[in-house]
Structure 1
Amino acid sequence: MNNKIAKRLVAAIALCLLVIIWPHAAFASKDDNLIKLQSYRAYLEQHADKKAGKADIAIMANTYSNAEGDLKTLDNFEGMEGKSVLTGESGKIEWEINVPESGMYNIELLYYPIDGKGNSIERMISIDGKVPYNEAKYINLSRVWKDKSAITQDKKGNDIRPKQTEAPRWRTVLLQDLLGYYNDPLMFYLEKGKHTIGFESVRESVVLNTVRIYKAEELQTYDEVKAGYEAKGYKEADAKTIKVQAENSYEKSDNTLYPVSDRSSAITEPQDPSKLRLNSIGGDKWKMPGQWISYRFTVEEAGLYKIATRFKQNKLAGMYVNRKILLDGAVPFQEAKAVKFKYGNNWQVKAFGDDDQPFSFYLEPGEHELAMEVTLGDLADVLNRVDDSLFKLNAVYRQILMITGAEPDLYRDYGFEKLIPEAIAAMKKHAAILREVSADMEALVGQKGENMVLLDKVAFQLEQMVKNPEANIAKTFTPFKENVGALGTWILTVGEQPLTVDYFSVMPVSKKLPKADASFFKKMIFETKSFSMSFFVDYNALNTEGETKGEPLEVWLTSGRDQSQIIREMINDTFTPESNINVKLKLVTEGTLLPSVLAGTGPDVAMGNLAADPIQYALRNAVENIKDMPNYGDIASRFHPSALVPFELDGKAYALPETQSFPMMFYRKDILHDMGLKAPETWDEFYRLIPEIQKQNMQIGFPADITGLQIFLYQKNGELYNKERSRSTLEEDLTIEAFQKQTELFTTYKFPRDYDFSNRFRTGEMPIGIADFTTYNQLIAFAPEIKGLWEFAPLPGTVMEDGQLNRATPATGTAIMMLKGAKKKDDAWRFMEWWTSAETQSRFGMEMEAILGKAAKQATANMEALANMPWTKTEYDHLMTQWSFATGTPEVPGGYYVTRNIGFAAAAAYNNGDPESLLDYVKEVNNEITRKRREFKLE
């Protein structure tokens, strides 16, 4: 009987806890946008009985009722008569309106994307001070880019990619969903009466002229448009085919949508068996919803035309991609909102149309503009439903976690059906949703493909857990966590829509489409010529050797092939034309540089070196001192002073920083909010947070290596070495105190020492942790289901005697250095100066993101270039705050022994409970430093 009472008491307590921690209803206000708001889908369902609004309200931007932050009124700006308003990177602008009739309305914006950092412009929309749904937090306003010039050729006859330049102009757009999960413009319900419309700056500045609130007209179907053609007596045009090469675009939304080279077909236009030809556009760079490219062409005869394109879609096996077609700035009919391009291994030719027929377009004589925009089409609803399920399943996972912990006891009776009936009901509901989505995808694609396997797998697992919760939930808890993570990756993969285009043909309706690929004989001739020329020509044309006089500058780098490809292209189209310096770039494996230098066959410049390398090479007289090179002081000012510390010794400098990173505090806003907690500002607040997190079977992440010790040491103004860098400070009080603080977190507070922070943070198992700020890249790219639910902030600080917070943190990075014996030191220095410049680093970062996605954001050491990365104002401010406290760690002979032995001491303290184990390693560490200093004749 007592056991039954105890069990019931435990169950009651658990239920009370779950009521407290279960996510509350979403809401939004000016001061609280922490938790995920209701989705736009839920908002539409909530207002399903509301009719379309009939009012048409035009608001002049300068008639605002309230404004905060940077604001400036402009007269007759860029040809627009009247007054416009420049809104900055932060702040808010609001207008009061009087709505004469209740209904659902769209919001249209006339804006000018003023020059900024080159990132997309982002705003958050509020109605009467509240953000109505989650998607309204992320409104994207596109920029406008152009090729600065036509494609030119180098001295070898290879095409040179044109530079991209911003070409801002006034644009009119209806507000859309950033992720593309909704094909129609966003709608807002407005009751009759007075309202306040607010635009809050999230990213970049923009000039606003007019905000229009109305209900956009529904587009006609193609059949209706076609019937209108017939009623007006429109006939097929009697004209020649107009061919537009896709690489010769008019405008584009991103500066990474530039011409690319394709050698997979003999008839790609233009093509050459031995020369590099920029003959297409798109591919992996043109895949995200909202990206667009436009073209202009001139028609001489009025009439009906069809528009055909030669394209390649060989990325998404068994799937299709979609493009929205706009003619002269407007979508001509419903079906043009999502034209499908199916998968194929080779090039294909098709006219814009559906499976039944090609579309006819009536064109008047004169110039016309054709634009293609990435859209999800039918896949939008699929991704929307999976995204919603993923968010709910993450909440279910956290509910189970709070009961079982990270490692459930398989032999324990948890009583899940009594403790979490809502979670079990949610599992049943979303298993059915995922089954339905899988079936819908199969119907859309026309076959069962690999993209449906994961949906069925997760659905099956949920069904098994619902069928017998007590037997299966604990047993399948770990696979469930893995599958939830895989579902987030699935959303990203399916949501990408890559397409490569060779050309467009505007032709009479009845004209036969051109062939998609070359004949057998053309292929054979092309391949034979290419093979013959391969003995004499580098098809990739990546080295600039031979284009200018003299021996080339040899540069080595140890990174990925994608990075090397980008750098080679940048050298070819920027550095060499501007400097007239040949560059021979080589991608080498790690460990290649040192033996090559010792053998006297090393390069002039080495890129991507670890922070410890320059000083180690300098001690062996293998790297040049650059302190006396021209403009060193000006170039060094590009970086935070801490970035230079590891590369300086005895008043000399041996490298320039390429990248720099440091730890920051990541936290889940939604979880802390639901628990009534806030992100800690000080270590006292941090320690008060620990029991609250751990009571819910959650964990906190903290660096178990030397980084953790350095955080506590540097925040007390301590150093790792003495002023002469001849001894470590491991025996000093400040270092011992820092070591004890770090080890206590793992011994007394039971923090985990080994963990995958990104995965645990994603699932909510570890809602707060300290990790390198580059973890941001991984989370923003691979955890879409928690977008807007997390943040990174400066580390908790130590309160100093003057009351100020010291948030000091160790920093690390990579470097570029000039090797000893470089034949052309001036050329090598000029290359190092070019590579570390803000313009070069900014472009490299954007190119990396274009090819590899958001996970490839560059942690550049150039402070101006980092500001040009696509950070929000809040993210950038937090980053700059922490960067101001970055502390460089000097490199010393034998320094590797310090890192190694601190690790040994930490392991001993953890395993043996000895908080003073660090003292056992002091003598050994200092002896090694002394031995190395004597070896290199430093004492």
Structure 2
Amino acid sequence: MNNRKKSYVAVLLVLAILVSIWAFYPSGSSEVRSVQAMADFAAVTGSGGDDGGYDAYVKAHSAAKRPDQVIRIEGESFTQTDGPGFEVVHPSGETAVLTPESGSISWNVPIEQAGMYNIRIRYLPVEGKSSAIERGLTINQQLPFKGADLVTFDRVWGNRDDKIGRDDRGNDLRPSQVEKPIWQVESVTDRSGYYDEPYLFYFDKGNQSVTLTALREPMAIDYIELYQEEALKTYAEIKSDYSTEGLQPVKDQYTLIQAEDAVYKSSPTLYPVSDRSSPTVIPYDVSKIRINTIGGLNWKLPGQWIEWEFEAPEDGLYQIALKEKQDQLRGVFATRSLTIDGKVPFKEMKRIPFEFGRDWSMYVLGEDEPYLFHLTQGKHRIRMTVSLGELAPLIQTIESSVLQLNEMYRKILMITSNSPDPYRDYQLEKRIPEMAEVFRKQAETIQSVADYLEQTTGEQSDKVAILHTMVKQLQEMAKRPDTVANRLEAFKTNVGGLGTWILTVREQPLTLDYLVVSSPDHKLPRADASFLQVVKHEAGSLTASYTEDYDSIGNTGKQKRSTTVWITTGRDQAQVLKNLIDDSFTPKSDISVNLKLVPANILLPATLAGEGPDVAMQIGEDVPVNYAMRGAAADL
């Protein structure tokens, strides 16, 4: 009987473990995308007059025409410079003007018809300090609006090596990022992400002056163009054009593009990364490190972009699918814009929302009715850029609310001081007559943002909790102005929480495993792992935890002389250090370095036991002194 009971208990334990694994790794197919298409939210700002911003600038010139013409000014035809280093150069056989990282340069622009124009610049990043290129733009020596004083142009980065290398233990090594300068044509846009379209600038008739003031980094300019940004068609209109032109979907075509094989990026921080959360990632190994994804928390700031190259085997209509994971923003969606060969295919590709999900999912652009993209035979490039999308007016609204609430807080503070007397009636409603109305109005404004987010995403989350908390407090303070002084500290904390909300929501992380360009009838790979795959993955990971050395970083092969180094920070920092060691230190010194990633608190007991390292790096400031005083540090 005892044996039978033990058997029952063992079976129950096994079932419990399997159920827990299944619960922890739910099937991605059960997750339903709940991002709903809604009318655009109109930003609510407190400024009704001319605050020098872009909105006020456009409103002031709302009656101006939009001349349908292109005006090109060659870079070398500049009329004036201020500062040294400006010269005509011929990179790649083309004539351009080199603009250094300081000074200013001006061009005369002949305008035949006054109106609003977009501006684009063809430029080549010149070797500098590896930062983004920044310029200030003025027209006739006047700043048009706030925002034109800081215009950013990206450098171009890519993997140093075509193939991802491996160390002598079979683990992939993160590829180093190097600058890959290429000519680019970029419109003057808002890099904060609040405006999807390029900036519009008003030019009077006649000769006008355009000046670029260098703020950071050099670049060569081929030309500057004034033009009109083409209005994008909707997919319904594009689909109608397909029918008119007789375009048909391709048959039996399937191209898989590994996301980590991106050809160009806008930042060196957009390096490929390793993901071991699922056995469905490609490439995959249960115990070894595989560089198999890109993005994540590195790919989150508005304006950051990643570009992939692929080849279409024949002319026709294709669908595009992404294996993606957005597991950071619950209650808010991450947004990307997509271009093919530098052009947005249709309006819907300006804002592609990716909702929260714990597991990998296969996202077909267009979802139930996949969008079809016309591709000609040959090479093409897909670029995805971080965009605030529908969140932009929401963030603008909360920013405006924070400014107005902070202004009200300062007014209250001047009366109550930062330590109000709880037994004193400050009569704030009389001394600040507009206080209750400001609280009431801002409560309504913030509530509208929370409602929009909940209706769009279909769920409540921590991203809207702070909004509801602020609304509740504002409503209570509007009803009971006599309690404002006693609530001042909580009010300050909640307004600070709104500021944190803005910073959090502005970040739009997204991880990609691969992209698929295929015919609409082709079956796509399964993104989520099956139950058996999960069990095999977990069992293999458990076994590997006893057999694999996860502490050592990179190559461990020894030269005639070797040293052991411990590092206590993250794996990424350790990998960067190991790359420097393998690339420069070991070849020059013929000394191999066994670099290990260890917890900070293990150094002391290991040293006492005689098992410590030769060198310990990135430790606390007090450690070297303590060890030296006790004779445990080497005398250099």
Same fold at TM > 0.5: yes
One-letter amino acid of the counterpart of residue 524, structure 1:
V
1:448-467 map, 5 Å: 448-467=460-479
Q: Write 1 or 2 for the structure with the bigger share of helix.
A: 1
Deviation at 1:264, TM superposition (A): 1.5
- Contact residue 552 and residue 584 of structure 1 kept, 8 A: no
RMSD of aligned C-alpha atoms?
2.7
Residue 71 of structure 1, aligned match among 85, 91, 99: 85
- Contact residue 564 and residue 587 of structure 1 kept, 8 A: no
One-letter amino acid of the counterpart of residue 92, structure 1:
S
Q: Which residue of 1 aligns with 2:331?
A: 318
One-letter amino acid of the counterpart of residue 66, structure 1:
Q
CA-to-partner distance for each residue in 1:590-610, whole Å, 9 max, x for gaps? 6x6556545544331122355
Residue 614 of structure 2, aligned match among 592, 600, 604: 604
Cα distance in structure 1, aligned partners of 2:402 and 2:48: 17
Instruction: Describe the SS at the equivalent of 1:156.
Output: coil
- Contact residue 542 and residue 569 of structure 1 kept, 8 A: no
Q: Which residue of 2 aligns with 1:41?
A: 55
Residue 385 of structure 1, aligned match among 386, 397, 410: 397
CA-to-partner distance for each residue in 1:18-38, whole Å, 9 max, x for gaps? xxxxx99999xxxxxxxxx63
Q: 1:477 to 1:43 in 2, by over 3 A?
A: farther
Q: 1:139 to 1:260 in 2, by over 3 A?
A: same
Deviation at 1:418, TM superposition (A): 4.5
Residue 146 of structure 1, aligned match among 139, 146, 158: 158
Deviation at 1:246, TM superposition (A): 0.9
Q: Which residue of 2 aligns with 1:854?
A: none
Q: 1:486 to 1:621 in 2, by over 3 A?
A: same
Q: Which residue of 1 aligns with 2:4?
A: none
1:284-683 map, 5 Å: 284-353=297-366, 357-421=369-433, 425-469=437-481, 471-538=482-549, 540=550, 542-544=552-554, 546-549=556-559, 553-558=563-568, 563-576=569-582, 578=584, 579=586, 581-589=592-600, 593=603, 597=607, 600-609=610-619, 614=624, 617-626=627-636
Q: Which residue of 2 aligns with 1:879?
A: none
- Contact residue 72 and residue 223 of structure 2 kept, 8 A: yes
Q: Which residue of 1 aligns with 2:114?
A: 102
Aligned residues: 585
Deviation at 1:226, TM superposition (A): 0.9
Q: Which residue of 1 aligns with 2:70?
A: 56
- Contact residue 304 and residue 360 of structure 1 kept, 8 A: yes
Instruction: Describe the SS at the equivalent of 1:157.
Output: coil
Instruction: Describe the SS at the equivalent of 2:201.
Output: strand
Q: 1:128 to 1:162 in 2, by over 3 A?
A: same
Instruction: Describe the SS at the equivalent of 1:189.
Output: strand
One-letter amino acid of the counterpart of residue 278, structure 2:
S
- Contact residue 362 and residue 527 of structure 2 kept, 8 A: yes
- Contact residue 70 and residue 89 of structure 1 kept, 8 A: no
* Higher gyration radius (CA): 1
- Contact residue 193 and residue 303 of structure 2 kept, 8 A: yes
CA-to-partner distance for each residue in 1:497-535, whole Å, 9 max, x for gaps? 111111111100222332112333333333333333332
Q: Which residue of 2 aligns with 1:217?
A: 230
Deviation at 1:69, TM superposition (A): 3.0
Q: What TM-score comes out, normalization by structure 1 length?
A: 0.59
One-letter amino acid of the counterpart of residue 326, structure 2:
Q
Residue 92 of structure 1, aligned match among 88, 104, 110: 104
Instruction: Describe the SS at the equivalent of 2:452.
Output: helix
- Contact residue 101 and residue 192 of structure 1 kept, 8 A: yes
Deviation at 1:49, TM superposition (A): 4.0
1:178-197 map, 5 Å: 178-197=191-210
- Contact residue 123 and residue 200 of structure 1 kept, 8 A: yes
CA-to-partner distance for each residue in 1:575-594, whole Å, 9 max, x for gaps? 1354162323243336x655
One-letter amino acid of the counterpart of residue 543, structure 1:
I
- Contact residue 330 and residue 463 of structure 2 kept, 8 A: no
Mapped pair 1:244 → 2:257: yes
Q: Which residue of 2 aligns with 1:208?
A: 221
Cα distance in structure 2, aligned partners of 1:510 and 1:260: 32
> Highest relative contact order (Cα 8 Å, sep 6+), 1 or 2?
2
Cα distance in structure 2, aligned partners of 1:369 and 1:346: 27
1:860-875 map, 5 Å: none
Q: 1:441 to 1:270 in 2, by over 3 A?
A: same
Q: 1:264 to 1:97 in 2, by over 3 A?
A: same
Q: 1:327 to 1:437 in 2, by over 3 A?
A: same
Q: Which residue of 2 aligns with 1:861?
A: none
Cα distance in structure 2, aligned partners of 1:223 and 1:210: 36
Cα distance in structure 1, aligned partners of 2:460 and 2:624: 55
Q: 1:251 to 1:377 in 2, by over 3 A?
A: same
Deviation at 1:266, TM superposition (A): 1.4
Q: Which residue of 1 aligns with 2:19?
A: none
Q: Percent identity, please.
A: 37
Mapped pair 1:280 → 2:293: yes
Deviation at 1:331, TM superposition (A): 0.8
Cα distance in structure 2, aligned partners of 1:180 and 1:450: 23
Deviation at 1:475, TM superposition (A): 2.0
- Contact residue 53 and residue 147 of structure 2 kept, 8 A: yes
CA-to-partner distance for each residue in 1:683-731, whole Å, 9 max, x for gaps? xxxxxxxxxxxxxxxxxxxxxxxxxxxxxxxxxxxxxxxxxxxxxxxxx
Deviation at 1:364, TM superposition (A): 0.9
Instruction: Describe the SS at the equivalent of 2:105.
Output: strand
Instruction: Describe the SS at the equivalent of 1:460.
Output: helix
Instruction: Describe the SS at the equivalent of 1:132.
Output: coil
CA-to-partner distance for each residue in 1:382-403, whole Å, 9 max, x for gaps? 1122122222322222222233
Q: What TM-score comes out, normalization by structure 2 length?
A: 0.85
- Contact residue 322 and residue 338 of structure 1 kept, 8 A: yes
Cα distance in structure 2, aligned partners of 1:26 and 1:202: 30
Cα distance in structure 2, aligned partners of 1:518 and 1:120: 40
- In structure 1, runs of 5+ residues without a counterpart are 1-22, 28-36, 627-939
- Contact residue 431 and residue 458 of structure 1 kept, 8 A: yes
Cα distance in structure 2, aligned partners of 1:129 and 1:398: 36
- In structure 2, runs of 5+ residues without a counterpart are 1-45
Q: Which residue of 2 aligns with 1:876?
A: none
Cα distance in structure 1, aligned partners of 2:49 and 2:626: 55
CA-to-partner distance for each residue in 1:11-67, whole Å, 9 max, x for gaps? xxxxxxxxxxxx99999xxxxxxxxx6332333344444443444322223333433
Instruction: Describe the SS at the equivalent of 1:409.
Output: coil
CA-to-partner distance for each residue in 1:813-853, whole Å, 9 max, x for gaps? xxxxxxxxxxxxxxxxxxxxxxxxxxxxxxxxxxxxxxxxx
Cα distance in structure 1, aligned partners of 2:178 and 2:84: 26
